Amino acid sequence: MAHFVLEIGVEEMPARFLPALEAELASRLDQALTDARLAHGLVRAAVTPRRLVVEAEDVAPLQAVEEVEVLGPPAAVAWDAQGELTKAGLGFARSQSVEPHALYRVTTAKGEYAAARKTTGGGLAGDILAEAASSILKTLSFPKRMQWVGKEWSFGRPVRWLLALLDEAVVPVRFAQLVADRFTWGHRVLGPGPWSVPHARDFRRILEEQGAVILDPAARRAAIIEQGNAAAQAVGGTVAWRDDLLAEVVGLVESPCAVLGSFDASYLEIPQEVLLTSMQAHQKSFGVRGEDGALVPYFLAVANIRSTRPQTVRAGWERVLRARLEDARFFWRTDLAADFAAWNAKLENVTFLGPLGSMADKTRRLERILDVLDAHAVVSGEDTLAAARRAAQLCKADLVSAMVYEFGELQGIMGGIYARRKGEPDAVALAIREHYLPLGPDTPVPASLAGAMLALADKADTLVGAFGLGMIPTGAADPYALRRASLGIIRILLEHELRVPLSTLLQAAYCAYGDGIAWKLAPEKAQARLMDFFGQRLKAYWAGQGMDTLTLDAALAVGFDDVVDTGRRVRALQAAVGTPDFEPAALTFKRVANIVRKSGAEAAAHVDPGLLEAGAETELWAALEAWEPRFASACAQGDYGALFPLLAELRPAVDHFFDSVMVLTDHPGQRANRLAMLSRILHQVGQVADFTRFQV
């Protein structure tokens, strides 16, 4: 069995492109070989800034041979009345490369047809690999593509060489006027090459030993961590590793070399958040912490070269970082000399979003929204409300600070730091720091209740304003991060178990705007669109946690205003779906819902016991009278786990009723009475889920 390797040499590819390309290359080649019926073993990919590599082990020399039956024209068309092949029959034989006498008749469900047996497969592995690789190269996915050989060819970055080997043989992969050969290029400085690769299994060894390239990202990551930890330990510290930055650095180097630099200890007066941002965002470097967890005056950089003059490399990193830190210290001292009143005054001239007023207007709206949340008993205690209100007044002030002007990613964080330094209570400072959270699906929500309330108000204000102006996300376009804002509200409500209705929160945000806004959508229409938007986000959120789509459709169809309560219903429904009694119960109550809705009966209508006939009808009424209070009580208490056994308890009486009684009888009184009884059942069951959404 043979070994195949394909290398695409490129100009430096952005680090953020690489992980997805690595996964796509492996899956695409594996699928292409499977589709081509070419037996193979493990397919793996590896990427560096200058090369994309995919390998397949144990590749069979030939494509699997398969005999297939091919149907042609109807027999009446393929043969004439004398049994001779017609032009249509002869044409079918030629198209399948078989002798005319090899055609035969096949009877199918649609009639009798001409058929032929033909053998497919047996193609050479090299030919199949060349075609598959060329096709993959043309259709690889990139966030952005570049053209460099006319408009015909595009790729994430210009392609400079191709290597493709099946054992010793070159596979003629073609792309962008290039034809693959057996030469690879190594590290630009440490082993530029070109290097001839005699056998596919020699590729990795030659690339590492002669080209000085560590091909596997996991190996580069391990080397960076090992070198970095050793360098930090030498000065009595530990590296402040950050996974997302480490992943980026891995994608920036082919031969990593850790460089431990230092800076003047006087810069430690700057908050550690600023120090780390200066190192991480601008220098792609990591901070170093001492035994007490505080930053020490060192940083770890990763160079893409093992220099013979490491002190020169280190000095370069230190010089650039020193300039950054000097700026940061200037901003820090400037901001400490300012006060919140002056910053808030400047907010009057900072536009929030077009017709929605200034950032100062936004802070005043946040206070009004908090008052509504307090009125609905969401905020517990005067201290929490007072902290949230004060934080609302100050939470946007840092937007006009010198530090946030330079480091925009520190908004909120610097506001909290400045609040604490300027004498505000810790609860206020923490709420300011937290009010932008969560920043994404995997980042934490505000830990404090005041911060959670302020975050809810801030996100609701943005959502309501944007939807009112018709700025509704479509497809992948979401310039105002409204999906993130809605998901943030959902997560805050769930993780803090806040029972504030979504409609209350959104209505409070609309009312906070007052009458001076020229809305493009009427508030009622915008709020309806916004609630639908939240429904989609809730479904996506729980589906991402493994919840079944039909279960979510059924649960959300009956309402989701109380997100916490909806979450309890969803979990209980998901647990019930897997039980043996669920499908029969779902089928029964789906039938109840269909009959009631098609008849137009009123929910929970009056039932006249005097019109009930003895037998199944009176038995159902007796069971319903005993069942209904218990079911309603469990619903009111949110004890959804108890509801599904109750549904199973009522189901036999309902099934017996359907088997024995004509619901839509010609007698108007009995018909209405029977529909009223079913409406009573649906009124209770419909608080839990819409059973018509289940495919049973």
* pLDDT over 70 at 604, yes or no: no
Which tops the pLDDT comparison, 652 or 598?
A: 652
Residues linked to residue 41 through DSSP beta bridges, in sequence order: none
Element (H, E) at 108: strand 104-108
* pLDDT over 90 at 512, yes or no: yes
What pLDDT score was predicted for residue 136? 92
Q: Are strands 286-289 and 257-262 parallel, antiparallel or unpaired?
A: unpaired
Element (H, E) at 559: none
Residue 497 region by backbone torsions, left for phi larger than 0, else alpha for psi between -120 and 50, else beta? left
Tokens of 60: 């069979």
Q: Tell me the per-residue pLDDT of 186-245, one tens digit each, with 9 for 90 and over.
A: 999 999 989 999 999 999 999 999 999 999 999 999 999 999 999 999 999 999 999 999
Tell me how many degrees the CA angle 657-662-668 measures, rounded to the nearest 5: 120
Q: Tell me the per-residue pLDDT of 284-332, one tens digit each, with 9 for 90 and over.
A: 999 999 999 999 999 999 999 888 888 998 999 999 999 999 999 999 9
What pLDDT score was predicted for residue 672? 86
CA distance 620 to 654: 6
Angle at which helix 582-599 crosses helix 668-685, to 10 degrees, equals: 130
Q: 3-state class of 50 per DSSP?
A: coil
Q: Tell me the per-residue pLDDT of 145-182, one tens digit each, with 9 for 90 and over.
A: 888 877 778 899 999 999 999 999 999 999 988 999 99
What pLDDT score was predicted for residue 696? 60
Residue 382 banded pLDDT, cuts 50, 70, 90:
low
At a CB cut-off of 8 Å and minimum separation 6, what does 680 contact? 604, 605, 607, 624, 628
Residue 692 banded pLDDT, cuts 50, 70, 90:
confident
Exposure of 577 in the CB half-sphere (CA atoms within 13 A): 20
Q: What is the 3-state secondary structure (H, E, C) of 262-304?
A: ECCHHHHHCCHHHHHHHHHHHHCCEEEECCCCCEEEEEEEEEC
Phi, psi of 99, deg, nearest 5: -70, 145
List b or e across 84-105, with b for residues whose CB sees 16 or more CB atoms inside 10 angstroms: ebeeebeebbeebebeeeebee
What's the whole-number average pLDDT of the chain?
Answer: 90
List b or e across 130-155, with b for residues whose CB sees 16 or more CB atoms inside 10 angstroms: bbbbbebbeebebeeeeeeeeeebbb
* pLDDT over 80 at 614, yes or no: yes
**Of 606, 649, 594, 657, nearest to 626 (Cα)?**
649
| Distances, alpha carbon 88 to alpha carbons 54, 93, 105, 166, 407, in Å | 46, 9, 14, 43, 75
CA distance 458 to 463: 9
Q: Residue 398 corresponds to which amino acid?
A: D
| Distances, alpha carbon 680 to alpha carbons 130, 473, 568, 638, in Å | 68, 40, 23, 20
Q: Determine the topology of domain 2-62+124-209 in CATH.
A: Alpha-Beta Plaits (3.30.70)
Residues linked to residue 7 through DSSP beta bridges, in sequence order: 53, 163
What pLDDT score was predicted for residue 474? 83
What pLDDT score was predicted for residue 602? 59
Angle at which helix 413-421 crosses helix 382-394, to 10 degrees, equals: 110
* Sign, CA torsion 584/585/588/590: negative
Helices of type H across 164-238? 203-209, 217-233
Which tops the pLDDT comparison, 279 or 475?
A: 279
* pLDDT over 90 at 539, yes or no: yes
Tell me how many degrees the CA angle 494-482-247 measures, rounded to the nearest 5: 85
| Distances, alpha carbon 669 to alpha carbons 515, 613, 623, 676, in Å | 52, 12, 21, 10
What pLDDT score was predicted for residue 381? 60
Q: Taking residues 576-589, report their average pLDDT.
A: 87
Residue 380 banded pLDDT, cuts 50, 70, 90:
low
User: Residue written as tokens 């493009």?
Assistant: 520
The length of the chain is 696
**Pair 352, 396: CB distance under 8 Å:** no
Q: Taking residues 14-35, report their average pLDDT.
A: 92
Lowest-pLDDT range, 290-294, 564-568, 641-645? 641-645
Q: Taking residues 582-586, report their average pLDDT.
A: 87
At a CB cut-off of 8 Å and minimum separation 6, what does 611 contact? 669, 670, 673
**Pair 180, 170: CB distance under 8 Å:** yes
What pLDDT score was predicted for residue 411? 94
Q: Taking residues 65-93, report their average pLDDT.
A: 86
**Pair 450, 427: CB distance under 8 Å:** yes
Residue 600 banded pLDDT, cuts 50, 70, 90:
confident
* pLDDT over 70 at 615, yes or no: yes
CA distance 670 to 529: 42
Residue 167 region by backbone torsions, left for phi larger than 0, else alpha for psi between -120 and 50, else beta? left
Strand extents, DSSP E, 376-477: none
Share of the chain above pLDDT 70, in %: 98
Q: Are strands 169-170 and 159-166 parallel, antiparallel or unpaired?
A: antiparallel
On whether the pTM is more than 0.85, the answer is: no
Residue 68 banded pLDDT, cuts 50, 70, 90:
confident
What pLDDT score was predicted for residue 509? 94
Q: Taking residues 376-382, report their average pLDDT.
A: 57
Lowest-pLDDT range, 21-25, 120-124, 436-440, 628-632? 120-124
Q: Output DSSP code: residue 154.
A: E
CA distance 463 to 537: 13
Residue 505 banded pLDDT, cuts 50, 70, 90:
very high
Q: Taking residues 86-110, report their average pLDDT.
A: 87
What pLDDT score was predicted for residue 436? 96
Q: Taking residues 37-55, report their average pLDDT.
A: 93
CA distance 378 to 370: 9
* pLDDT over 60 at 557, yes or no: yes
What pLDDT score was predicted for residue 393? 96
| Distances, alpha carbon 279 to alpha carbons 310, 314, 669, in Å | 19, 14, 80
